Amino acid sequence: EPEVTQTPSHQVTQMGQEVILRCVPISNHLYFYWYRQILGQKVEFLVSFYNNEISEKSEIFDDQFSVERPDGSNFTLKIRSTKLEDSAMYFCASSDRGGSGKRTDTQYFGPGTRLTVL
């Protein structure tokens, strides 16, 4: 069964450093997402990406964050200058609108990257 994969599983970085989190969405999916979950809190939406551009972003997704689809398979989240409060699990997700126009909104999630900022 196709699945979303994410690397690395755990990333430790120093405050102020740049990190890039990588995701390989399900191959025929068209919509891509990043969410995060701070320990003990809800899963929160960060950004959605469609047709090579951001379609929606949350207030969390400020100028320090960027996303990119550098090739036909990878989807990345970059944090330019990490802060302590960026420590969280980051989840990538993808969904398929359906080739026949059928709306399929189910988002499938990757296993997550645990980001620890020291």
Partner 1 sequence: DQQVKQNSPSLSVQEGRISILNCDYTNSMFDYFLWYKKYPAEGPTFLISISSIKDKNEDGRFTVFLNKSAKHLSLHIVPSQPGDSAVYFCAASAMIYNQGGKLIFGQGTELSVKP
Nearest CA to 94 among 1, 22, 3? 3
Query: How many other CB atoms are found less than 10 A from the CB of residue 32?
Result: 23
The CA-based dihedral angle spanning residues 2, 56, 10, 19, taken in that order and rounded to the nearest 10 degrees: 130
Could you say whether residue 75 binds partner 1 (CB under 8 A)? no
Give the binding range for partner 1 (CB under 8 A) out of 13-21, 35-43, 68-76, 77-85: 35-43
Could you say whether residue 61 binds partner 1 (CB under 8 A)? no
Q: Considering only residues 28, 55, 73, 81, which one is a binding residue for partner 1 as defined by CB under 8 A?
A: 55
Please, are residues 44 and 65 in contact by the beta-carbon 8 Å criterion?
A: no
Could you say whether residue 73 binds partner 1 (CB under 8 A)? no
Could you say whether residue 53 binds partner 1 (CB under 8 A)? no
Task: Indicate the residue type of 99.
Answer: G
Please report, as ranges, the residues that interact with partner 1 according to CB under 8 A.
4, 6, 31-33, 35, 42-45, 48-50, 55-56, 58, 89, 91, 93, 95, 103, 105-112, 114
